Structure 1
Amino acid sequence: MNKITGFLLATLTTAMCLQPALAQEERTALVPLPSLDDFSRGNDGWSLGLGLGVEYETAYEGSDEFEFELDPAGALQWRRGDNIFFFAGEALGWRGLRNETWLLQALVGFDEGREESDSSDGRLDGLGDGDEGIEVVLEARRAFANDWRTWLVGRVVTGENGNLGLFGVGHRFGDKWDGSGHEFNLVAVFHDSEFANKDFGITAAQSLASGLAETNMSGGFRSIGANYNYRHIINRNWQIFGEALYEYYSSDVRSSPIARSNYEAEVGIGFIYVF
């Protein structure tokens, strides 16, 4: 064996040994989806990311008014293997990866409710403030393969103000396993009558006070929606994220006097510092 052949064989052997290690090192996120915060860098224990985002969005469900809003971003997390427990703003939850293709998530959050002052044009005058309440969110995503390129998603939101269900399909663009890249979801949304009336119903008392027609919503199909998520990891500490959402309401929802628009939309961008 000459020196050149020996050198090539040694280099090839070294590369073959390093490749699995590098592939494993790149897989730092529990699930490589830009929509899910994971600040663990693949390590068990505590992690923290804090940041700020700015959104341009409809003022309330069914509104034709838009406004800018600043929102905190990030979460406090504790990871143990394929499980992450997190506290993010007004939500406390858990997510876990099972059999490489199932992502399960459960959280308890707080719904602030709609305020009469949310409409700067006075279109909610006489309706009063909506009820606040605790919500429980249960979600499952089932990937078609363990590369998490395409998946099915189902989510149920239940609480003091009714129930909502979401079912759809998602796709991830990009090859990294650190949670960066692009993600797109297309979903159908359903609600029961209590949840529908929370956003679009008008009681007899509200009708007298506002001048809007009394409206009693029934449950069923609510909307078809699409959302896009983006995450770019600049370095070990800094991340940039972006998101866009569009939801087109069903004919029943559009018939409510509260629905001044046929859709809800929002776009947002922000940054997170990972400690």
Structure 2
Amino acid sequence: MKRFTGLLFAVCISGLTAQTAMAQDEKTAMVPLPSQDDFSKGEDGWAFGLGLTVEYETAYEGSDEFEFEPQPAGAVQWRSGDNIFYFAGEALGWRGLRAENWLLEAAIGFDEGREENDSEDGYLDGLGDQDEGAELVLQARRALDDDWRYWLVSRVVASDEGNLALFSVGRRFGEQMDGTGSEINVVATFHNSEYANKGFGIDAGQAAASGLPQTSMSGGLRSIGIDYNYRHYINDNWQLYGEALFEYYSSEVRDSPIARSNYEAEVGIGFIYIF
């Protein structure tokens, strides 16, 4: 479930934007949102994007340790009208536009899990490793105007280790209809007790092995956060993109011994080549 440089980031990129002359009307995204990968350039058929992003992020949920991590980026997509089927990293899914103001999405992905050695300072010692697991992600996005300037989002993540729900309101900046520009989302995230205990609970065995107090989590509010996305065409094939995320944990999560920080943060920047 994992991912704010904000104004500073946008200002740094503005020089590139001013130097690039693009025929924006030749690249119409299914929805003009920078957070949605759409490599089709408005055409049906296959589309491919391949790139690399570098992220600076917390080492694990609740960590006060930060690390740089390179990640592959891009996707294989097939577009048919207002439908895009895609394979991106460890996610296989579908995204479809309905009635011009509903964007629906369904995907099967994977949670990376957590390992004791994710903490270089040894704060996870004795808690054991968590295996990677499959997740079903269902999302509905509702535009509040004709050009997707404002919208509402609801997302549910379901797995055999609990469920997560997200609700947000977003705002798009820029006049482009090709998926470039920037957007910002304010997000509230909720989890059930099973999902909460997976990330922040400590059972009796873990308490004995780690020396941390046994901790049982209940469901409810997980965090309040803000998410910023930026995307820019450098030329007809190369894209520059960035994302920044800040989540402030609820009081119950902050009280968990695993949460050594009151927040989670991530900044990423990358390039992608569209074939």
Does the alignment reach a TM-score above 0.5?
A: yes
Q: Deviations over 1:42-91 (max 9, x none)?
A: 00000000000000000000000000000010100000000000000000
**Map of 1:45 onto structure 2:** 45
Does the alignment pair 1:128 with 2:131? no
Q: Distance in 1 between matches of 2:161 and 2:114?
A: 12
> Which residue of 2 is the match for residue 172 of structure 1?
172
Which residue does 2:182 correspond to in 1? 182
Instruction: Give secondary structure in 1 for the equivalent of 2:157.
Output: strand
Secondary structure of the 1:135 match is strand
CA distance in 1, matches of 2:38, 2:80: 12
- CA-atom RMSD in angstroms: 1.1
Deviations along 1:108-166, one digit per CA (max 9) or x if unpaired, are 00112011110000000000101321100000110111200000010000012110000
**In the alignment, which residue of structure 2 is the partner of 1:264?**
264
Give SS of 1:125's match.
Answer: coil
Tell me which amino acid in the other structure corresponds to 2:214.
E
State whether structure 2 residue 267 is matched by structure 1 residue 273: no
* Partner-residue secondary structure (3-state), 1:266: strand
Q: Which amino acid aligns with 1:248?
A: Y
Q: Report the Cα distance in structure 2 between the residues aligned to 1:95 and 1:251, rounded to whole angstroms.
A: 35
TM-score, with length taken from structure 1: 0.90
- Who is 2:247 aligned against? 247
Structure 1's unaligned 5+ residue stretches are 1-21
Give the superposition deviation at 1:27: 5.6
What is the 5 A alignment of 1:172-251?
172-251=172-251
Distance 2:231 2:112 in 1: 27
Any runs of at least 4 consecutive aligned residues in structure 1 with deviations exceeding 4 A, and if so which? none
Task: State which drifts further: 129-138 or 248-257.
Answer: 129-138
SS at match of 2:104: strand
Structure 2 match to 1:71: 71
Determine which structure has more spread, i.e. the larger CA radius of gyration.
1
1:109 paired residue number = 109
2: CA distance between counterparts of 1:71 and 1:27? 26
- Maintained 8 Å contact 1:152/1:170: yes
* Residue of structure 1 equivalent to 2:92: 92
Secondary structure at the counterpart of residue 224 of structure 1: strand
Shift of 1:26: 4.5
Q: Is the 8 A contact 2:26 2:41 kept in 1?
A: no
Contact 1:26 1:176 in 2 (8 A): no
Deviation at 1:234, TM superposition (A): 1.1
Q: Greater relative contact order (Cα 8 A, min sep 6): structure 1 or 2?
A: 2
Indicate the SS of the match to 1:126: coil
State the one-letter code of the partner of 2:190. F
Amino acid in structure 2 at the alignment position of 1:240: L
State the alpha-carbon separation in 2 of the partners of residues 44 and 131 from structure 1: 38
SS at match of 1:146: coil
Q: Which residue of 2 aligns with 1:153?
A: 153
For residues 26 and 41 of structure 1, the distance between their equivalents in structure 2, rounded to whole angstroms, comes to 7
Alignment partners' CA distance in 2, 1:123 and 1:59: 11
TM-score, with structure 2 as normaliser:
0.90
Secondary structure of the residue aligned to 2:197 is: helix
Range moving further from structure 2, 96-105 or 25-34: 25-34
Whole-angstrom distance in 2 between the partners of 1:103 and 1:146: 13
Q: Secondary structure at the match of 2:76?
A: strand
Tell me which amino acid in the other structure corresponds to 1:33: L
Task: Report SS of the residue matched to 1:199.
Answer: helix
